[in-house]
Amino acid sequence: MQVLLCLVCAFGLFGQYHPAPLPLEDDGSVHPTRPAQNDLSLATKYLQKFYSFQADPTGRRRRSRPSFSSKLKDMQSFFGLNRTGSLNPDTLAVMTTPRCGVSDVEDYSHKRGNRWKKNIITYSVGRYTSDLPVNTVDAQVASALDAWAKASPLTFQRSYSHQADIMVEFVGNEHGDSFPFDGPDGTLAHAFGPGEGIGGDVHFDEAEAWTAGFKGFNLYVVATHEFGHALGLKHSQNPDSVMYPTYKNRKTQNLLSSEDIMNINTLYGPRDKRPYPSPRFSWSYPSSPWYSGSYFPVSYKDTCNPDLTFDAVTTVGEAIFFFRDKYLWIKHNNQNDIKEGPISNFMPKIDCQIDAAYWVPQRSTAYLFNGTNFWTVKGSQVKGRAKNIRNLGFPSWVQQIDAAVHIHKTVHTLFFTQHQYWRYNEHNKTMNDSSPRNISDDFPEINGPISAAIYKDGSLHFFVGSDVYKYDVKQKEIIGADKTTSWLGC
């Protein structure tokens, strides 16, 4: 079983670094007249450790090996920097910031053994930090594990045995695993992927200033990241993901992004494995092309759960579609006559969770999103193959759309990703801006991430968890609030 190591990062903790740019020759070597030898040494070690760069000890590059410049471009691409292939200030600023020790180019999430083969996982806390009371550490660790439990079918049980699946310890310097810590403000922690022995274990550097707040390093935030690796997740290129290889102060509420939840579900399945109602209750509803196949009566036990949340909501003609996991509710003509069932019963070619959806009435077309893919749907027919969201103008770091809504009066579609949003012109088929805007700037009182959104009766309706906020765009204020269940007649 391959044991995998990850060391958490600490971005944003230092002042901006502005070294002199260090141009490279075509073969990846540094021009001999450039004096920044320390920068070159740092960059070489960085690329060797995180991007599989193999430097020749003689200083000559073998033709069979990728150049320094090409590996540098790989690193720049990962962090969304300009792919110049030279050591510019932005690149060196990243390299001089403490970070995670797992390779950024190694995709280990699908390798054998990189998930636990069980859903009940034990954990134990060994040596504690002197920075926090024992009960605070216990609470922070339990909360971090609970964040993953709420997003998956996993259950974590506290153990007081050294044979627990996940051993948590605060240690310093050399501590017996061949990966010594480096003192304050460097490597914060590391974790090993699922497996026997040291597999799953998480070590925190006792030299750091651990806190339950944000003056030092927030233990809950770092632990949530580390437990993600202990469960088999890799790093994300999305800065909003808790699995992004950099430390930053985050809002501790709803710490996991939609991408994090999707990735843990890929490994272990969704948390809510709701059994579908028996098909003996099925019927057909031929008056609309969406109503084809088998249908099930409303299951009020699940539908009226006060904690019910939706992954996506959209109007489709006079109907409203509500998506959760691989399930769909259809509410027609503002009535409580709701049809429900697996999404594949309504659209046979789609058998996955829908993250976002919107409807363009001028085209009588719906667009459904999952990860970086989206489908064009007319009637109940999926038109062609799934396309990549890059076709809409999204940069590579956007891995998932949280919510989408089309405002027909302005011909714009708004795409929400964590705490930001994009404006897409459906007429010109282009993004209005090259960069996203902050949700809080243009929609005061709305705190992302947004689960779903629709435009109905002249107002935007934002679904945030189990709450729905009616928003007046002109006045820029919330004019009403309700629960998601009320939209299903509860």
Known binding-site residues equal 100, 131, 165, 175, 177, 182-183, 190, 199, 201, 203, 205, 208, 225, 229, 235, 243, 311, 355, 357, 404
Query: What is the Rg, in whole angstroms, of the alpha carbon atoms belonging to the chain?
Result: 25
Sheet holding 459-464, edge to edge: 452-456, 459-464, 467-472, 477-483
Residue (of 412, 454, 461, 425) closest to 315 by Cα position: 454
Q: How far is CA 383 from CA 291, 366, 374, 412, in A?
A: 17, 10, 11, 22
Taken as a whole, the chain contains a residue count of: 490
Contacts of 177 (CB under 8 A, 6+ apart): 198, 201, 203
Q: Give the integer Cα–Cα distance in Å for 32 and 480.
A: 67
- Which residue ranges make up the annotated binding site for Zn(2+)? 100, 175, 177, 190, 203, 225, 229, 235, 243
Q: How far is CA 485 from CA 130, 329, 337, 467, in A?
A: 46, 12, 14, 9
- Which residue ranges make up the annotated binding site for Ca(2+)? 131, 165, 182-183, 199, 201, 205, 208, 311, 355, 357, 404
Return the beta strands (E) in 272-419 as ranges. 312-316, 319-324, 327-332, 338-342, 356-360, 365-370, 373-378, 381-388, 403-407, 412-417
Instruction: State residue 462 phi and psi, 5-degree precision.
Output: -100, 125
Task: Please give the positions annotated as active site.
Answer: 226
Chain position carrying tokens 């001089």: 96
Q: Give the integer Cα–Cα distance in Å for 414 and 422.
A: 6
Kindly write down the DSSP assignment for every residue of 194-207, as one continuous string. SSSTTTT-EEEETT
| Six token digits for residue 339 | 């049809």
Return the beta strands (E) in 214-263 as ranges. 217-218
Kindly write down the DSSP assignment for every residue of 395-446, as one continuous string. -TT-----EEEEETTTTEEEEEETTEEEEEETTTTEES-SS-EEHHHHSTT-
Residue (of 405, 358, 370, 149) closest to 259 by Cα position: 370
Q: Let me know: does 332 contact 341? Beta carbons within 8 Å.
A: no
| 166: β partners | 123
| 368: β partners | 357, 375
Q: Let me know: does 370 contact 354? Beta carbons within 8 Å.
A: yes
